Amino acid sequence: MRSLIVIDSFYPNPKAIRQKALNMKFVEPDNLIGWRTTQGYFPDNFVAMLEQKSGLKIVHIRMPEGTPYDNGTYYLAFNSGKKKENPWIHWDAPASHYVCLVYLTENVPVSSGTSFFRHRKTGAEFGPTAKYARHLGISKQTLKNLLDRDGPYRKRFIETDKVGYRFNRALIFPANRLHSASEHFGNDLISGRIFQAFTFKAS
- In this prediction, residue 86 has a pLDDT band, given cuts at 50, 70 and 90, of confident
What pLDDT does 84 receive? 67
CATH of 5-202, one of 2.60.40, 2.60.120, 1.10.287, 2.20.25: 2.60.120
Domain boundaries, the chain: 5-202
CA distances from 202 to 38, 54, 99, 149 (A): 26, 10, 11, 31
The neighbouring-strand residues paired with 159 are 117
CA–CA distance, 63 with 198 (Å, rounded to integer): 10
Q: Are 82 and 152 in contact (CB under 8 A)?
A: no
**pLDDT tens digits, one per residue of 40-75:** 999 989 999 999 999 999 999 999 999 998 999 999
3-state helix, strand, coil in the chain (%, to 5): 20, 30, 50
Residue 27 CB coordination number (10 Å): 12
For residues 18 and 31, the answer to whether their CB atoms sit within 8 Å is no
CB-neighbour burial class of residue 70 (10 A; exposed 0-12, middle 13-18, buried 19+): buried
Residue 81: the pLDDT is 62
